[in-house]
Amino acid sequence: MGNTMAKAGWRMTGLLFAIPAGIAARKAMDAAWRKTRHSEPPANPAAPGTTWTEALVWAAVSGIAFAAARMVAARGAAATWQSLTGGLPPGLEDSTI
């Protein structure tokens, strides 16, 4: 039972970090696109009105931004979990060994 509760708590902690990180990444991507391209970011990169160049650049930027946001959220959640519980989150191994 304790392991199930720990896993649920870890998922909730991760979610609490992931949502703001995703929102921040999206806002940063939109702002960077506007500043560098002097236009609005594509609403739907798959739409026929979006050029291939814009669609591919947006996909690359999105991939990098969301991967970085995911890493920031995961590391922040793990550090918070460890400070609150004194141990690593369920499923995480200590890499300092």
Averages of pLDDT over runs of 10 residues in the chain (97 residues) are 82 94 95 94 91 93 95 94 90 70
- Provide the CA 89 distance to its chain's centre, in angstroms: 18
Predicted pLDDT at 51: 93
* Domain around 35: 19-85
- Which tokens sit at 79? 């550090």
Place of tokens 């391209």: 37
In a domain, 35, yes or no: yes
Provide the whole-model pTM.
0.81
Instruction: Domain count for the chain, please give it.
Output: 1
In a domain, 93, yes or no: no
- Provide the CA 69 distance to its chain's centre, in angstroms: 3
In a domain, 1, yes or no: no
Predicted pLDDT at 1: 52
Predicted pLDDT at 3: 81
In a domain, 64, yes or no: yes
Which residues contact residue 43 at a Cβ distance below 8 angstroms, ignoring those fewer than 6 apart?
A: none
* Helical pair 2-37 and 52-85, crossing angle rounded to 10 deg: 140
In a domain, 28, yes or no: yes
In a domain, 75, yes or no: yes
